Amino acid sequence: MKAAYIEQFGGPEVLKVGDLPDPSPAPGQIVVDIHAASVNGADWKVCAGEYAQPSFPVILGRDFSGVVSALGADVGADVGDLKIGDEVFGVLEAGRDGTYCEKIAIGAAIVARKPPALSHVDATALALTGLTAIRAIEDTLKLKAGETILIQGGAGGVASFAIQLAKHLGARVITTSSAGNLAWMRELGADQVIDYNATDFRTVVSNVDAVFDTVGGDVAMQSFAVLKPGGRAAFIASGAQAPKPDRDDVASLRPAGGRARAPRERIADLLRTGAVRPPPVRLFSLADAVEAVQISKARHLKGKLVFKVR
């Protein structure tokens, strides 16, 4: 199979595209012929060696959409009600990478059926981003109707899903974005949009119930200033630990890991009901993996970068 992989750590330029052996399913696994795989912020960090890896070569990528092409061969292997030909999407097990390729073996229990009206490209654009947003907004921050949330970096894949989810839950949503994306943020449902190049958000935002930061660095630390007493903040771009607040009347949280099936089904439900919609997508082939990961690392992008594999 064709795959984009690394044989050493370094910048995106160490990525290679070539042939690797096809996977075989273990009991309880399925093989998925990948039609689309997305680029995520974690990918360039894997490339750089920021996450432990068992051995080289390492295929990058964490989410995918495709078609089931094989089932675990042992009699009685539990693959649920999945069958060859089913269209599925999902995210790999925590700590595992390997979707920048044509085929993957994965546990049947952690995939979800792709909604028929959704393309493979759009499904993979929402897989890891949707999972992360649900973990942050619903499970970690426990956002409720009537509350106000500030979502930092609204144009990114995770944040743009989070804006729609927060509105669906009945919250008032404030977000930060560059000037070129302000109108899109309002289309997604944001009640207040701040051009971060023109305005310090701390001068126009205060007393919010929750903050969801997807930017990191100084922005993450500055976000504590706008929380009300008893407020809570969740962070996904600030290393392994959530930033430590400079005040003791707010909570600093980091969404838990895990790849349980329920959030995938929740993504599918949100799509079916129209509560969320796919982000804008820029398409690449696997041969363009270096360019795609370089763009992702630079971080100034709208929506998602997706490999159209088939």
Which of 211, 237, 253 lies at the terminal end of a domain, its last residue? 253
> Do residues 178 and 113 share a domain?
no
- The CA-to-CA distance between both ends of the chain, in Å, stands at 12
Q: Which domain holds residue 146?
A: 130-253
Q: Residue 111: exposed, middle, or buried by beta-carbon count in 10 A (0-12, 13-18, 19+)?
A: buried
Query: Token pair for residue 304?
Result: 């998602």
Cα separation, 296 vs 57, in Å, equals 21
Q: What is the CATH number of the domain that holds 145?
A: 3.40.50.720
Q: Is residue 264 part of a domain?
A: no
Note whether 134 and 165 are within 8 A (CB).
yes
Q: Is residue 268 part of a domain?
A: no
> Do residues 63 and 159 share a domain?
no
Q: pLDDT in tens for each of the 310 residues of the chain?
A: 999 999 999 999 999 999 999 999 988 899 999 999 999 988 999 999 988 777 999 999 999 999 999 988 654 557 778 899 999 999 998 789 999 999 999 988 889 899 888 899 999 999 989 999 999 999 999 999 999 999 999 999 999 999 999 999 999 999 999 999 999 999 999 999 999 999 999 999 999 999 999 999 999 999 999 999 999 999 998 666 789 998 899 999 988 765 555 677 888 889 888 899 988 999 999 999 999 999 999 877 788 999 999 9
Q: Is residue 199 part of a domain?
A: yes
> Do residues 15 and 95 share a domain?
yes
Phi then psi for 158, rounded to 5 degrees?
-65, -45
Q: Is residue 42 part of a domain?
A: yes
Which of 211, 236, 253 lies at the terminal end of a domain, its last residue? 253
> Do residues 204 and 242 share a domain?
yes
> Do residues 57 and 93 share a domain?
yes
Q: Give yes or no for a cis peptide into 279 (omega within 30° of 0).
A: no
Segments in 112-253 forming alpha helices (H): 120-134, 157-168, 182-188, 217-222
Q: What is the CATH number of the domain that holds 291?
A: 3.90.180.10
Residues forming beta bridges with residue 2, ordered by sequence position: 19
Cα separation, 147 vs 216, in Å, equals 23
> Do residues 141 and 249 share a domain?
yes
Q: Is residue 283 part of a domain?
A: yes
- Given this model, what pLDDT does residue 192 score? 98
> Do residues 145 and 195 share a domain?
yes
Q: Is residue 161 part of a domain?
A: yes
> Do residues 85 and 148 share a domain?
no
> Do residues 6 and 102 share a domain?
yes
> Do residues 88 and 113 share a domain?
yes
Give the three-state DSSP class for 70.
Answer: strand
Q: Is residue 9 part of a domain?
A: yes
> Do residues 10 and 106 share a domain?
yes
> Do residues 15 and 89 share a domain?
yes
Total count of domains within the chain: 2
Q: Is residue 284 part of a domain?
A: yes
- Given this model, what pLDDT does residue 257 score? 61
